[in-house]
């Protein structure tokens, strides 16, 4: 059974703080993704990675960076959190390509 | 051209009725069209997917109908049940692409 875990379910941070969101998958998947989910906007891709140390920008990368030092772990970094980054953040993984993505439960981040 | 437009934003259906959610796209290079189902507090999960070489795919009570000429695809849920109440997302990807483009989501409520 594929499992994608995210480090926190809820997180409250202050404006300007550096924020780390971590995601771990246990199925040796090649691809990992970070999305943010906002009402009425669906899921928007922030960054994805198709191999260790490889990353590609998604549709809304501004204000975010990522790190993938190990195959099973993909981190999302908010260098200086802002209130407009308050959102639900979802991590996903897939064996290869965009197909059959497995999602974690999400982290609801509030920036005050 | 990278967008997938989903409607309606919310839908209420009586138990036993048919739920229909629609998606439209512009990019004719899209060749994979999945639907994801998300329950409250959970990440989305793949429900059913179709490729453009077929016009319909059925899995239990869930059917995708695909109209290539109209660049539209839809999800039909037959005999809708309260347990189907969830948010549904359509998505699309291009051949060779590593990522999905998601629709805006539809919150479906099935009244008992």
Nearest C-alpha of chain B: how many angstroms from A102? 6
- Average pLDDT per 10 consecutive residues for chain A, totaling 112 residues: 89 97 95 95 95 93 96 97 98 90 97 98
A31 contacts A68 by C-beta, under 8 angstroms = no
Contact A49, A66 (CB under 8 A): yes
- Give the integer Cα–Cα distance in Å for A48 and A56: 5
Q: Please give the mean pLDDT across all residues of chain B.
A: 95
Q: Residue B1 has what pLDDT?
A: 60
CB A92 within 8 A of CB A100: no
pLDDT of B2 over the 90 cut: no
pLDDT confidence of residue B19: 98
pLDDT per residue as tens digits for the range B80-101: 999 999 999 999 999 888 899 9
pLDDT at B90: 97
User: Do B110 and B13 meet the contact criterion of CB atoms below 8 Å apart?
Assistant: yes
Task: Return the pLDDT at A105.
Answer: 96
Give B-chain residues touching A90 at CB under 8 angstroms: 43-44
> How far does the CA of residue A17 sit from the closest CA of chain B (Å)?
26
The reply to whether residue A50 touches residue B98, judged by beta carbons under 8 angstroms, is yes
Quote the pLDDT of residue A97: 84
């Amino acid at each position: 059974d594929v499992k994608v875990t995210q480090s926190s379910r809820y997180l409250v941070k202050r404006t300007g703080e550096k924020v780390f969101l971590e995601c771990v998958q246990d199925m040796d998947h090649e691809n990992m993704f970070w999305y943010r989910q906002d009402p009425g906007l669906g899921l928007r891709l922030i960054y994805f990675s198709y191999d260790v140390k490889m990353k590609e920008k998604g549709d809304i990368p501004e204000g975010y960076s990522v790190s993938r030092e190990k195959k099973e772990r993909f981190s999302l970094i908010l260098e200086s959190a802002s209130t407009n980054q308050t959102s639900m953040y979802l991590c996903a993984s897939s064996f290869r390509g965009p197909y059959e993505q497995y999602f974690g439960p999400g982290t609801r981040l509030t920036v005050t | 051209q990278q967008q997938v437009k989903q409607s309606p934003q919310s839908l209420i259906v009586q138990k036993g009725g048919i739920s229909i959610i629609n998606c439209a796209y512009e990019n004719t290079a899209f060749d994979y069209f999945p639907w994801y189902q998300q329950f409250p507090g959970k990440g989305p999960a793949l429900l059913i997917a179709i490729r453009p070489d077929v016009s319909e795919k059925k899995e239990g009570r869930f059917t995708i109908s695909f109209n290539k000429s109209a660049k539209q695809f839809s999800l039909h849920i037959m005999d809708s049940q309260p347990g189907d109440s969830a948010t549904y997302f359509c998505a699309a990807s291009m051949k060779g692409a590593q990522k999905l483009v998601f629709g805006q989501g539809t919150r479906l409520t099935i009244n008992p």
